[in-house]
Amino acid sequence: MKTSKPTRSTMKSSNPSQTNTKSKKEKQYFTDVHGLPCIEKLVCSVDDTPQPISTKIRGTIPSWIHGNLLRNGPGKFEFGNTQFNHWFDGMALLHQFRIEGGTVTYMSRFLNSDCYKTNAENNRIVVSEFGTLAMPDPCKNFFQRFLSRFEVQKPTDNASVSFVQYKGDYYVSTETNFMHRIDPETLETKEKVDWSKFIAVNGATAHPHIDPDGTTYNMGNSYTSKGASYNIIRVPPEKISPDETLEGATIICTIPSGDKTKPSYYHSFAMSENYVVFIEQPIKIDLLKVVTGKLRGKGISDGLYWDPKQQTVFHLINKHTGKLIPIRYYAKPLSTFHQINCYEEDGFLIMDMCCSDDGKAINNFLIQNLRKSGDGLDEVYNTICRIFPRRFVLPLNVGKDTPCGQNLNTRPDSPATAIKTGKNKVRCTPEDLHDDELHEYGGLEFPQINYAKCNTHPYRYFYACGFRHLVGDSLIKMDLQDKHMMVWQQEGYYPSEPVFVPSPNAVQEDDGVVLSVVITPNKDNSTFLLVLDAKNFEELGRAEVPVNIPYGFHGAFQAGI
């Protein structure tokens, strides 16, 4: 195991063959990676564990940690002789690590979704997913199979991305219009909830934001005969009746897509105290390709593409009035899946997010790519653009008298720029939130903060996975005060998204622990829950689980069980 204190190091060599995917500033830091270890077992099907089992504790699990770490991700990648094509397509497997009195138990259940039940009953893939098109029933005659090509694909209810909360209840979600309410104590599927029964959207992100009073915000697309639009959703914090789900949800703002038939794809959004920030990026959805996918024999993923000729646009919506502010903030083409934090200070909106200069990576996570070894695996990784944390500084007080051509960012020691280029137009360039050391770890993703204390407020620390592979292979604590970092890393071990849990009566921002599920593909039954001291990033203990667990996506900590 390695815990590095803040140091500085530079990788100065470069590879000309990668210049098409890296910014000029970052080209110098990369050479092609060779000899990546195979991670095939991270994306293999497993059995669920519906009854809690004990774990073996090494070190010490602090006795004050009291709650459930809930995790979500794909856990079954085939039915019968049919296999899913994309990592995102695997059937949702829900995990619970119950932590109490220094002990940990583990359990898991497959989400009892309609698509899981239908696929299981037919012993083949019947419901199409993001990257997998379900084939026609072989028992039908030729004419019936031909006609089935003209049917519109129905959205999946395989909610395999995250655990989220609305009105105090836990749901698992993906990016379609379906969620499932879950009992976090048993992981049993309680009911399926359809966003479109409450508001006119065709889906919502798997990453809502929550205000201190429990009001929840999200975003969802609408596709109508007039074209595509983006919607800001608000869900009230309280229930009127115990059986409520999304009652009271409203659309507070609708933003028309710049291209009616090719809206931007987005996985999440940013939120400050007074604004929702929608990032319209050049990852595009070709709706015609999506609608005709079944006819063409292609999955939904075939309709996503990267258009580097398009700029990135930041849209700001006032949460209280629902008004879209007239200023448009532009940046060079970039892709972002996860934002770190967003807050207002001294007349500026500061937005930190994980960015890359290329948006083609989403189509690289095919199951066949993740199961490659040797040169084939190296080639896949070396074609992916690295992801780094960046800060944009958006001036909020821009009017007709604001001069053009000068940097409006007056924050001291901030190299980010914001230049008015015309009426209601501001051109922005970001500040890098890292030094050269991060390049050694392949950039980072899955950022997390002390959400309860720091979301929408100034902050100092965030936690993430380093990506010197196709999945996370290190844990990183980033100190934004001096851009130094601490690292936990162990060869052959792959940690998942870090989750910060504050200690009782915490005063400082990093008083607490970081939890991460770590998987070892080289050994059976070797997964463990890792507990790090959030201050010094040293290991406190681990809880070893005697079953195999696939690599997952996102989770949440349910405190005070």
pLDDT of residue 31: 63
133, 297 in Cβ contact below 8 A?
yes
- Rounded percentage of the chain residues whose pLDDT exceeds 90: 83
Average the pLDDT over each of 129-138, 274-283, 407-416 and give the range with the smallest value.
129-138
pLDDT of residue 282: 96
pLDDT of residue 142: 46
- Residue 291 scores a pLDDT above 90: no
pLDDT of residue 152: 52
pLDDT of residue 149: 46
Within 8 A by CB and 6+ apart from 243, the residues are: none
Which of the given ranges, 147-151, 153-157, 330-334, has the highest pLDDT on average?
A: 330-334
Under DSSP, is residue 531 helix (H, G, I), strand (E, B) or coil? strand
HSE of 310, CA atoms in CB hemisphere, 13 A = 21
d(CA 368, CA 376): 10
Neighbours of 217 (CB within 10 A): 18
252, 319 in Cβ contact below 8 A?
yes
Using H for helix, E for strand and C for coil, what is the string for 197-237? Answer: HCCCCCCCCCCCEECCCCCEEEEEEEEECCEEEEEEEEECC
d(CA 439, CA 383): 16
- Residue 201 scores a pLDDT above 80: yes
- Residue 122 scores a pLDDT above 80: yes
- Residue 189 scores a pLDDT above 60: yes
- Residue 16 scores a pLDDT above 80: no
525 phi and psi angles, rounded to 5 deg: 55, 45
Q: Which of 159, 36, 42 is nearest to 109 (CA)?
A: 159
Beta bridge partners of 484: 479
Within 8 A by CB and 6+ apart from 342, the residues are: 270, 271, 272, 275, 277, 349, 350, 351, 352, 456
Which has the higher per-residue pLDDT, 140 or 357?
A: 357
Q: Which of 101, 93, 99 is nearest to 530 (CA)?
A: 99
Q: What is the distance, to the nearest Å, from the Cα of residue 56 to the centroid of all Cα atoms in its chain?
A: 30
pLDDT tens digit sequence for 366-402: 999 999 999 999 999 999 999 999 999 999 999 999 9
CA–CA distance from 278 to each of 290, 327, 417, 456, 538 (Å)?
A: 23, 13, 19, 15, 37
**Strands (DSSP E) along 237-298, which ranges?**
250-256, 270-271, 275-280, 283-285
pLDDT tens digit sequence for 483-535: 999 999 999 999 999 999 999 999 999 999 999 999 998 888 789 999 999 99
pLDDT of residue 23: 42
Q: What is the DSSP string of 318-379?
A: ETTT-PBPS-EEEESS-B-S-EEEEEEETTEEEEEEEEBS---GGGG-BHHHHT--HHHHHH
**Strands (DSSP E) along 379-423, which ranges?**
388-395, 417-422
Q: Identity (one letter) of the amino acid at 119?
A: N
Q: Identity (one letter) of the amino acid at 521?
A: P
Within 8 A by CB and 6+ apart from 241, the residues are: none
How many residues make up the chain in this entry?
561
d(CA 201, CA 227): 13
pLDDT tens digit sequence for 42-92: 999 999 999 999 999 999 999 999 999 999 999 999 999 999 999 999 999
Q: Report the mean per-residue pLDDT for the chain.
A: 91
CA torsion through residues 290, 294, 295, 301, sign? positive
pLDDT of residue 12: 29
d(CA 159, CA 165): 14
CA–CA distance from 120 to each of 123, 385, 474 (Å)?
A: 5, 37, 36
Q: Which of 237, 66, 95, 247 is nearest to 168 (CA)?
A: 237
pLDDT band for 34, please (50, 70, 90 cuts): confident
pLDDT band for 560, please (50, 70, 90 cuts): confident
Q: Which of 252, 127, 250 is nearest to 195 (CA)?
A: 250
Under DSSP, is residue 519 helix (H, G, I), strand (E, B) or coil? strand
Q: What is the distance, to the nearest Å, from the Cα of residue 300 to the centroid of all Cα atoms in its chain?
A: 19
Under DSSP, is residue 552 helix (H, G, I), strand (E, B) or coil? coil
d(CA 350, CA 428): 12
DSSP H or E stretch at residue 530 = strand 528-533
Q: Could you tell me the two tokens for 421?
A: 């280029």
Neighbours of 150 (CB within 10 A): 9
